[in-house]
Structure 1
Amino acid sequence: MQICILLVLMISETLNAGYFRWITKAVATQNLMCPLSCKAITGLYGHFGGATEIKCCASRSRPIWSIGKFTSSICELNLKNSVGTNHCSKNTIFYKIRYTHKYVTSIPKRLLHSNQTVEIDFNSNEIENITGSDFECFPFLDTLDLSNNKIANLENTTFFKLKNLRKLDLSYNVIQYIEPITFSYRPGSLLFINLRANILISVDVTNVFVGYWFSKLYLDYNQISKFTNQLHWKMEHVTGGGDIFMSHNKMSHLPNMSDIGFTRDSIVKIISFKYSFRLGGNPWFCDCKFSWFVPLLKFARKNFDVGGQMVCKYPISLRGKLAVNVPEDLFVCNISVKQKCPLSCNCFEQPSRKRVVVNCSRSKKYKIPSAFPQQANLDIDLSHNLITILEIQSIFKSHGCDRFII
């Protein structure tokens, strides 16, 4: 109760110092102050989704103890064997517990001033496991830094009691699995989630599209190649948004949208107006299955800084080219002999022209091939060959050719 009263007094003194108290359904914490400039900001934060103020405050708000004269209200305690090594002033209200570059393997069960702790920094240790019980005594915790440890897995009950937690740093661990809905808990206040440089090979869709407004989610420099949808989640309404960094992973193909709970309409609204993705540094295969995403990416660039580093790695003919600059006719999918492409022919699907090309020109054929790809809208070119036996009508009837060149 005493802490709450002090917070109210501190906030009232800050209201006229270029900040306003940020109270919103987007976060549970009531300790944040947002710059007044966010009330009128436009441009990159935009008016999209009616969330101008929310997107700005999610990125630029600060806890009361980090503003102006109130910075003296927080005292840093460097721990050694659970004993503070420095002294705090009489103005101290909150504490930052710091215990870094040691060899601790778990969160100590007894930490000083737990009820008044707003920051915990345990980076560069040997911590392997964390559970919800490690943090249940920190009701005001705002910032948790566990970077550069050896954490391998995250349970979805680990943070759910930390309704005031705003910044979570788990970068440079060895995280290889995160349970679904680990960051979606409500009431909650997560605005910055850092999972950079772990060893994730997949990420569940519920840990990316978390259903509320946030600022940054860092998943870059992992080994992510796919999305999962373990709970069969559905995006029924477009909610929340934020900046998602997934560059320098191992994604080569876009996921099947229906498999991860989206319709084509919902993904258009999300990518264009709500969530911005940084997807550069991945080995993208720019084929026909990628082509639908390019117009969407171009449209999203009007509102977000995205697509600038999204470069094709495959096929070889497009290697190094920026995906948004590739002509749409070049997004094709090759069709193999196993898929009934005739020997010595070049077959490919070309969505931009709604056709399947079977190019057998100059292939030294004496007769029309007996098999063609079992797809509609065939465009067959048999020109410059040695064909003497023509069965044009049967070819058109059986394969539905739009165009047939001899």
Structure 2
Amino acid sequence: MKSIGLNLIILNLVNVVDLLNNDDIFKVMFNRTDLLCPEFCNGYRLVSCCMCYVQKTREKLHTLNVVHNAKTEYPTIEKPNVLNIQYQIIHRFKKTKRLPVNICNFTGLIEIDFSNNEIKSIDNISCVKSLDVLIMHINRIEYLRNDTFIGMKFLRMIDLSYNNLRHIEPGFLIHMDGSLLNFDVSNNFLTTVDVTNVLWEKQPAFCKTDFSFNEISSISNELHWTCKRNTQFGYGGMVIFSNNNFSHFPNFSEIGFKNFFLLGKLLDYGFDFRENNWICDCRIYFFAFKASLVLDKQHRDYFELSCHYPPEFKNILLIDFIKSQTLDRLICNLTIADRCPPKCRCFYQPGRSRTVVDCLGTGRRKLPSVLPLKTDLEVDFSSNEISSLLNDTGSGNIIYSYSKYISKLDLSNNTIKIIPNDLVFKLRNMNLINISKNKITKIPRTLQTLNPCQIYFGEVVIHCKCKDIWLQNWLPSFHSKCFNNTRVYCKYNNEKVHILNMSKHGFGCRLYNEDILWLNISLAVTAFIVTVSSVLIYIFRFEIFITVRKILKYFKKIVVSSNLYAYDVYISCNEDDATLRHWLTSSFVPHLEDENIRVFLPFRDCELGSPREEEIIDVMSKSLNFVIFLCENYDGSADLWVQKEWKYAWFNYRYDINREIIVINYDTLECKYIAKKYLGAFLKIHDFIDFSKKDKHIKEEVYKSLQHVQGDAFATNRNFNDLNAARSAIHMDVTYTNIDNEMANLNIKHDDSVDAT
């Protein structure tokens, strides 16, 4: 929020300054009334003129004397005989090694000049808050902290030229919030400068920042500063980088300008990069291309950067490349270290968005093993002795592995005879393939996957056969613009005949027999019918199985002996549904048993303590019919046993035609909600009993649907059902007896403990 507020203030200042006269500029921008703008400053360069030709109201400054203490060897400022409000120090050529120890005692210091001394540090200068001019020309200062001048609102000029300055801490100028107009660190030993010491965010304007005659070769961004859309740089000023060691412009995204167009915020700045060792190659192309967009709108003499390297561009102005629209001459040569094949010339050319690998006429017998790791490769292996494109450890591999990076491939004037089929598929991503003037005698049919206009075969003479007739459809017509790319001729009657002029008879093709045509059509229709039928049979396999099974049983009139099965009916239901459980035990099961049907009801007839799944498997293998109640909700354990009962019921149903499954839709479910598709199939073919019917009708339909046994088994059934009821009663008696015994034991233990007490 603080930075946003500051940006708004600077933006408002910029708008207000346009309405002010010369006398008010410094008052509004820096809150200083002692600085005046000359009358000759006017027009659209008003602000920059005022910053550089500022005039200060003259005050009488008393000069302080600096002496060296003989005991401590530290310089000190003598107490003046006449007290004054404002002072100055002019102390030159005295071989002084440090600032006076009592300099902070003189808060009225306005100007300090310690030129031509041996001072190494000025870290304690910030205590002189009223300082206006600081001249430390020709000293031995090596390091400048970013808080050295903190709080010095009136500091207008800093001259640190001709020192031993090697490092300026990042964040110095970008946070400068005073009235510093001139900052001179020229003729030092700086090798890099941070972007936060080049740009000013908090101060609305300045005159000049001078980094000239250093050894600067790069601009860093140690604080990871980023230019945002609301960042403001005010009216800016002049930044001089002339006579340094720059060879390339920095990567603008790395120094905080992620969006290149945000550099437009610096149009009020001036950057002088003349007299550097500029290398005019591909790395300067991006800057030059973007600069061409604004060159017509404004021009400065400091834009005239001259190339130092390569030799053919030496002393040529970069601006001449832009004006002549020859930026495509800016290339970067690649070496073996960049994976350029030996004896080849490789270069990256951003002006044409390509990387060229030129191996023309280098006497190669096979393709190289590597290529530069670049996109849009244009590879030229023409006029060599390459004979094979097979994908082996020798030649050929390079095209297979780099096919997605190669846009143009020239293999003309070689001795290639065969184009492998698998290579053709790799060529699909290329824009142009030239294989002309080789010894090709056979054209693979896989070429149909390529556009004939993207490949050059030149003139090819082959022995045409019927299998080559596809070329007539693939090759461009006589009127096509790429007709001459590939011209295929057939050897016919000792003559060369263009393949487009050949007839089917000339190819040696037999005329198509109508019987064969109908046979092919019949086979195709049959294959289609078989495929569709197979899919439908698979989708409706359960419905078909159930229906066919019922038809077979109907015609076979199957009779089942009562001795084959121990139970007539096995009931599978949701045992946790109290309502269903009550209906089964009180109405449904008694009804079946009254009809002499042997019923097994799991929650009633299963033996206590026996393994449940084993008993289910055993009982269901001895049951003739399975009555399954479909319910909506099951608890965890109930669902587990019901799923097992369904599985074993279907298993027995599938492999024994005597058995039947009767599905009762208890909760009126739809087939799509049934987990097991084989049970859902009963619902799809409407082979189920709706539980919403009357009780009497349900019982009647179940009885009719059952597979009945032969003969009258009334006595046996009755005895068996009585046996089940008796067994259940015995289980209940045993259970209650066990409970009584446990209670008796508890009472005995309780009485014993009471007696002991």
Please indicate the TM-score interval, normalised by the length of the shorter structure. 0.7 to 0.9
2:115 and 2:26 mapped to 1: Cα distance? 31
1:144-203 deviation digits (Å, cap 9, x = unpaired): 101111111111121012111111000001011111122334531111000001111111
TM-superposed CA distance for 1:295, in Å, is 3.5
Q: Name the stretch that deviates more: 109-118 or 234-243.
A: 109-118
CA distance in 2, matches of 1:392, 1:119: 84
Show CA shifts across 1:378-397 (max 9, x none).
Answer: 22333443411275994893
**Distance change (3 Å), C-alpha of 1:350 and 1:112:** closer
- Which residue among 55, 63, 73 is the counterpart of 1:62? 55
Number of the residue aligned with 1:41: 43
| 1:22 aligns to 2:12 (yes or no) | no
Q: Is the 8 A contact 2:126 2:150 kept in 1?
A: no
| Change beyond 3 A, Cα 1:202–1:382 | same
Q: Which residue of 2 aligns with 1:207?
A: 197
Alpha-carbon separation, structure 2, partners of 1:321 and 1:399:
42
Query: How far did 1:289 drift?
Result: 1.4
The C-alpha deviation readout for 1:213-241, integer Å capped at 9, x for no partner, is 21100001111122221211111124232
Identity over the aligned pairs, expressed in percent? 31
Distance change >3 Å, CA 19–CA 329, structure 1 → 2:
closer
Which of 280, 284, 306 is 1:286 aligned to?
A: 280
> Once the 2 structures are TM-superposed, how far is the Cα of residue 269 of structure 1 from its aligned partner?
0.8
Alignment of 1:99-248 (within 5 A): 99-111=91-103, 114-131=106-123, 133-136=124-127, 138-211=128-201, 212=203, 213-236=205-228, 237-240=231-234, 241-248=236-243
- TM-score if structure 2 supplies the norm length? 0.44
Provide structure 1 residue ranges, at least 5 long, that are not aligned to the other structure.
1-17, 46-52, 66-72
Tell me how far apart the structure 2 counterparts of residues 201 and 297 of structure 1 sit (CA, whole Å): 26
Structure 1 contact 364–385 (Cα < 8 Å) conserved: yes
Q: Tell me the equivalent position of 1:397.
A: 426
Aligned partner of 2:742 in structure 1 is none
SS of the aligned residue for 1:385 comes to coil
Aligned 1:377-388 pairs, distance under 5 A: 377-386=376-385, 387-388=414-415
| Cα distance in 1 between the residues matched to 2:25 and 2:99 | 32
2:258 alignment partner AA: T
Whole-angstrom CA distance in 2 between matches of 1:280 and 1:306:
7
Q: Report deviation, 1:279.
A: 1.0
Larger Rg: 1 or 2? Answer: 2
Question: Residue type of the partner of 2:372?
Answer: P
SS of residue paired to 1:118: strand
Q: Which residue of 1 aligns with 2:475?
A: none
Distance 1:195 1:337, change over 3 A: same
Q: CA deviation at 1:80?
A: 4.4
CA distance in 1, matches of 2:195, 2:424: 46
Q: For each residue in 1:249-279, what CA deviation from the matched residue of structure 2 results, as whole angstroms up to 9, or x when unmatched?
A: 12222222222111243453145x1322111
Contact 1:115 1:139 in 2 (8 A): yes
- Say which structure, 1 or 2, has more relative contact order (CA 8 Å, 6+ apart): 1
Change (3 A) 1:243 1:265: same
Partner of 2:329: 330
Counterpart position of 2:620: none
Structure 2 distance, partners of 1:247, 1:107, is 31
CA contact (8 A) 1:380 1:405 kept: no
**Paired amino acid for 2:56:** P
- Partner Cα separation in structure 2 for residue 216 and residue 145 of structure 1: 15
Quote the residue 1:5 is aligned against: none
Q: Measure, in 2, the Cα distance between the counterparts of 1:106 and 1:115.
A: 18
Determine the C-alpha separation between the residues in 1 that align with 2:167 and 2:28: 29
1:129 Cα deviation after fit: 0.9
The structure whose residues are more often helix, as a share, is 2
Distance 1:398 1:55, change over 3 A: farther
Q: Unaligned regions of 5+ residues in structure 2, if any?
A: 1-20, 68-76, 386-413, 436-757
Q: For residue 49 of structure 1, what is the aligned residue in structure 2?
A: none
**1:139/1:163 contact within 8 Å kept:** yes
Question: 1:93, CA displacement in angstroms?
Answer: 6.5
SS at 1:203's partner residue? strand
The 1:336–1:187 alpha-carbon spacing in structure 2 relative to 1, beyond 3 Å, is closer
TM-score, length basis structure 1: 0.80
Q: Which moved more, 1:189-198 or 1:111-120?
A: 111-120
Q: Which has the higher strand share?
A: 1
Partner of 2:237, secondary structure, is strand
What's the secondary structure of 1:21's corresponding residue?
helix
Please give the alpha-carbon distance, in whole angstroms, between the structure 1 residues aligned to 2:359 and 2:198.
Answer: 46
Contact 2:257 2:263 in 1 (8 A): no
Distance in 2, matches of 1:311 and 1:229, equals: 26
- Name whichever of 159-168 and 101-110 sits farther off: 101-110
Distance 1:164 1:399 in 2: 70
Size of the aligned set, in residue pairs, is 365
2:60 corresponds in structure 1 to: 74
